[in-house]
Chain A
Amino acid sequence: MRALRLVIALCRVPRLFSSLLLFPLILGLVVMCAQLLVTSLILQAGRKSIGPVESTDPGREKLRSIVSNLIYGHETPQPLRICRWQTKVVDGQAIELPPDDPHCAPDRLDVALKVKHPDLFDPTQFQLILDGTIERLHICSSCHPDVVIVPGTPVRTEVSSVWGLLVLGATSLNPDVGEKLKSARTDMRRIWDSVGSIEFYSSGLRDAVKIKDLYVTSAIVINIAGMIVIALWLALKAHRRVIDYFARSGALLPMAAGCGSSNFYLAIWMLTCLRVAAFLIAVIPLSAYWLYDMVDPEQLYAIFGSDLLALALWIAAVSAGLGLATVIASIGELKQRHFLFSFGYRYVPLLIAGLGTIVWMATFIIGTPFWGFCRNIITLLPVLGLTPIIIAPIFKPSYLALVLHSGLALLLLLQMVRSNARWFASHLEEI
């Protein structure tokens, strides 16, 4: 009760409320939104490469018209005009001039081919690339638009403005290339369609890995795991930050004494839980909305909804496993805090998990049942089997491995916190 009173009293001070709750909450939300945005972009890119061919063209055409509008002021570029410059004698001086054609009036957003003898140079290869995106190609020896290509071995291109970069970038939107891409994608699609759904079987896995769903599944898995990581980060790292905040002001000891040390530390945990709860309440509807918007509900159901037990076990295993890794990193750093490279200790679980990942991946090379068994052993070991646990919805390990990983990680987590409580206490006394 006294702890709750302290939490309420702290939250009622506006500045403390923003320092302890609001600011980290906003930070967590921003990180989560950024993660969702990046995943959406990755998902969209993935859809382009494996989705229906027609769906990719309007985007490319739209981009081409936007770029053309920016450079030339109209949506469709005129066909490429070759403007070959000539040397004329004016007032006794040899001067290189553009052709008399008014369409060849030089502009800084044109492209030039800088050659020694403009009248002899064959521009066919450049014509093929630039036609459809660029309106004028000058062949000259001394002109200076923003993009100047110097043919030779090797070819060199001089760009003298940001707009020049845009002009050069427009060449990648060449309609001819677009057609070839479309054709390549059609062939690719035909190959994909001809092999049907690709299912990868390996001993030790509960079910086949659906290769075609890999893109969507990994995006969702990474997001959910990311959410758990941020929640854990808010919980553990923020817990220490809150205490540091009190310690820096000198208020830690009087408050802990005034409220009773157990009440005070309980209040800090309550504040931390409040932070995590607020983060999850804000993020879960956002992520659910994003999932339904980005992913086909049937596909989503096929990945998660069809096996709710696996989903529950996965969330439990990921939470326990990541929680343990965070605690190990935190306590490791805390115990060695006087050592110059103490920050290195926070990467110890990451290193162990990395090692586990390498061995786990190696077990796929030899597909015998023995190696399948070894794979399951790695998966059930806390920290070492963190990667196979995070990607468990893709590479489906046995239920037993998920249960054992959750149980062992939870036991170790509790043991770590219990046996290292004094390290937290001694830390508090030193700051």
Chain B
Amino acid sequence: MHEHARRQISIEATGLSVAYGVRPALRINELSARGGIIAVIGHNGAGKSTLLKSVLKLLPCSAGRLDVFAFDREVRQRLKPEEHMAFCPEGGSVFADISVESYIRLWCRLKTDDPNYYRSGGRHWIEQLELAPLLKKLGRELSKGQRRRVQTAIGFFSRPRLFLLDEPFDGLDVQKTSELAEIVERQASSTSFLLTSHRMDVVERLADTLIVLRNGELFAVGPTEEVCRTIGHAGAKIRGINNIEAAMDALKKHLPCAVMSKFGSEIIVCGKIPAAPELLSLVRSLTNSQVEIEEIVPSLVDAVSYHLKDTASQCLAA
């Protein structure tokens, strides 16, 4: 429902190759991802942060091209990092030996020409991200989460068309995660977001488009549900099992490539699993009980768990 209200961007890449020195870190033949909140997911070292830095033109492309377009009334406009984008790195940022207030004033002067913007137009963000108690502190006195909040507020000061967030929920408690997710969702009507995260529950709630990277290459791209099907293959909910623990152990032996989780009296299976009738007879033969099976779309958490397991086993085999 909210997708229509979100401001859309499109990330397009052709023959893209980005390398650190001689070591290639990202290779994408063709990419076209459109959405309001686009999440980049993948295992550690998959190339998520590299993609973000390439979008920001901080890393030069050794081959190909990567562009970001905005759509205002379906008119394409190429976005420039310095004019239309804001970025908050994983660790946040504030100079260690200056106060948060001085750092914010520096950014206000750079982005709005008014060093006191944070007290007028930007006051909302200071309050929203609870920065008032931090203003007099030195950068070195802040935690990683606090530094990230400072940089997030600074990013919003410039009213960016695209906000890039690298691991924004890493290290946040449940309440702070929920608050930040709410802010992102609320702002999506005026700002598009490109974020990386390992918090699949939050990503599933927020993102309308997913980019899945594997070993520096594009593995899947598309709307969240579609990607869940692509990387999670198939899902099934098994009900009516008497001894869940024993059933799970037996199933794991027969379906080594699947991911299983227990949810109350149900078992949720995801991955390369047999079709529903075969799975039903398999479970019945293993548990000797009259179980029921419902085919479902795998959740992102399950799909990514399966994807990572699959990736890990492939890597191991390689």
Most buried by B among A250, A252, A260: A250
What residues on A are CB-neighbors of B171 within 8 Å?
A: none
Stretch in A6-14, A183-191, A194-202 with 4+ CB within 8 Å of B: A6-14
CB of B21 closer than 8 Å to a CB of A: yes
Q: How far is the CA of A253 from the CA of B81 in the complex (A)?
A: 12
Find out whether the CB atom of A250 lies under 8 angstroms from the CB atom of B93: yes
Bound: A259/B107 CA distance, A? 10
Complex Cα distance A430/B23, Å?
13
The chain B residue sitting closest to A260, CB to CB, is B82
Per-residue contact bits, chain A 240-276, to B (CB 8 Å; 1 contact, 0 not):
0000010011111110111111010000000000000
Q: Which residues of B contact A423 (CB under 8 A)?
A: 21
Interface string of B154-167 (1 = CB under 8 A from A): 11001000001000
Among A13, A15, A251, A425, point to the contact of B60 (Cβ < 8 A): A425
Chain B residues within an 8 Å CB radius of A12? 106, 109
**Given A253-B58, A254-B88, A254-B93, A259:B21 Cβ within 8 A:** no
Q: Tell whether A429 is near chain B: CB-to-CB under 8 Å.
A: yes
* B43 proximal to A (CB < 8 A): no
> Which residue of A is nearest B23, CB measured?
A426
User: By the criterion CB–CB under 8 Å, are B98 and A13 in contact?
Assistant: yes
Do A426 and B20 have beta carbons less than 8 Å apart? Answer: yes
**What residues of chain A lie closer than 8 Å to B155, measured between beta carbons?**
254
Distance in angstroms from B268 CB to nearest chain A CB is 39
User: Any chain A CB within 8 A of the CB of B56?
Assistant: yes
The yes or no answer to A308 lying at the interface (CB within 8 A) is no
Indicate if the CB atoms of A259 and B110 lie closer than 8 Å.
Answer: yes
B106 A15 Cβ-Cβ under 8 A: no
How many residues of chain B are within 8 Å of chain A by beta carbon?
39
* Bound: A426/B91 CA distance, A: 19
Write the chain B residue with the least CB distance to A5.
B110
- List the B side residues contacting A5 at CB < 8 Å: 109-110
The reply to whether the CB of A422 lies closer than 8 angstroms to some CB of chain B is: yes
Flag if B81 contacts A260 (CB, 8 Å): yes
Give the distance to chain A from B191, nearest Cβ to Cβ, in Å: 15
Contact A257 B56 (CB under 8 A): yes
The residue from B58, B88, B96 contacting A261, defined by CB atoms under 8 A apart: B58
Are A258's CB and B110's CB within 8 A?
yes
If A249-B139, A250-B91, A258-B87 touch, does A2 touch B82 (CB 8 Å cutoff)?
yes
- Assess A430 versus B89: contact at CB under 8 Å? Given A250-B94, A257-B81: no
> A251 near B94 (CB under 8 angstroms)?
yes
Select from chain A the residue with minimum beta-carbon distance to B50: A429
Are the CB atoms of B82 and A257 closer together than 8 Å? yes
Q: Does B151 contact A (CB under 8 A)?
A: yes
**Interface check B287, CB cutoff 8 A:** no
- B87 engages A249 (CB within 8 Å): no
Closest to A259 in B: B82
Q: Are B98 and A425 in contact (CB under 8 A)?
A: no
Q: Contact between B20 and A430 (Cβ–Cβ < 8 Å)?
A: yes
Q: Is A127 an interface residue (CB 8 A)?
A: no
- Closest A residue by C-beta to B87: A257
Q: A6-B110, A257-B87, A258-B82 are in contact. Are A249 and B56 (CB under 8 A)?
A: no
Contact, CB under 8 Å: A253 / B98: no
Q: Given A260-B80, A263-B82, do A429 and B147 touch, yes or no (CB 8 Å)?
A: no
B151–A16 contact, CB under 8 A? no
User: How far does the alpha carbon of A418 sit from the alpha carbon of B102 in the complex, in Å?
Assistant: 36
Measured in the bound complex, the distance between the Cα atoms of B96 and A16 in whole Å is 10
State whether the Cβ of A161 lies closer than 8 Å to any Cβ in chain B: no
The interface residues of chain A, by DSSP majority, are classed as helix
Alpha-carbon gap, A182 to B94, bound state (A) = 67
Interface flag for B86 (CB, 8 Å):
yes
Contact with B along A1-41 (1 / 0, CB 8 A): 01001100110110110010000000000000000000000
- Choose among B20, B80, B89 the residue that contacts A254 (Cβ–Cβ < 8 A): B89
Q: How large is the interface on A (under 10, 10 to 19, 20 to 34, 35 or more residues)?
A: 20 to 34
Contact of B111 among A13, A258, A426 (CB under 8 A): A258
* B110–A249 CB distance below 8 A: no
Shortest CB distance A178–B (Å): 57
- Interface flags for B95-112 (1: CB within 8 Å of A; 0: not) read 111100011011101110
Interfacial chain A residues near B81, Cβ < 8 Å: 257-258, 260-261
Q: Are B82 and A250 in contact (CB under 8 A)?
A: no
B262 at interface by CB-CB < 8 Å:
no
Interface residues of B in 62-106 (CB under 8 A from A): 80-82, 85-89, 91-98, 102-103, 105-106
- Asked if A15 meets B58 with Cβ closer than 8 Å, knowing A258-B158, A426-B21, A429-B20, the reply is no
Cross-chain contact of A249 among B57, B59, B93 (Cβ < 8 A) = B93
Contact of A257 among B58, B60, B91, B94 (CB under 8 A): B58
Whole-angstrom distance between the alpha carbons of A248 and B88 in the complex? 15
CA distance A62 to B134 in the complex (A): 64
Is the CB of B229 closer than 8 A to any CB of chain A?
no
Does the CB pair B87–A251 fall under 8 Å? no
A429-B86 CB under 8 A given contacts A13-B106, A251-B93, A251-B95: no
- Please indicate which of the listed interface residues A254, A256, A260, A422 has the most CB atoms of chain B within 10 Å of its own CB: A254
Q: What CA separation (Å) do A422 and B53 show in the bound complex?
A: 15
A13 → B minimal CB distance (Å): 5
Complex partner residue of B98 from A6, A15, A258, A426, CB under 8 angstroms: A15
How distant is the Cα of A19 from the Cα of B97 in the complex, in angstroms? 9
In the assembled complex, the Cα of A425 lies from the Cα of B103 at a distance in Å of 25
Q: How far is the CA of A261 from the CA of B139 in the complex (A)?
A: 23
Top 9 nearest A-B pairs by Cβ distance?
A: A260-B82, A250-B93, A257-B56, A251-B93, A257-B87, A249-B95, A15-B98, A9-B109, A426-B21
What are 23 A-to-B residue pairs whose CB atoms are below 8 Å? A5-B110, A15-B95, A15-B97, A16-B95, A19-B97, A249-B93, A249-B94, A250-B89, A250-B94, A251-B93, A251-B94, A253-B89, A254-B87, A254-B151, A256-B56, A257-B58, A257-B87, A258-B107, A258-B111, A260-B80, A261-B57, A422-B21, A430-B20
Binding site for B on A (CB under 8 A): 2, 5-6, 9-10, 12-13, 15-16, 19, 245, 248-254, 256-261, 263, 422-423, 425-426, 429-430
Chain B residues with CB under 8 Å of chain A are 20-21, 53, 56-60, 80-82, 85-89, 91-98, 102-103, 105-107, 109-111, 139, 147, 151, 154-155, 158, 164
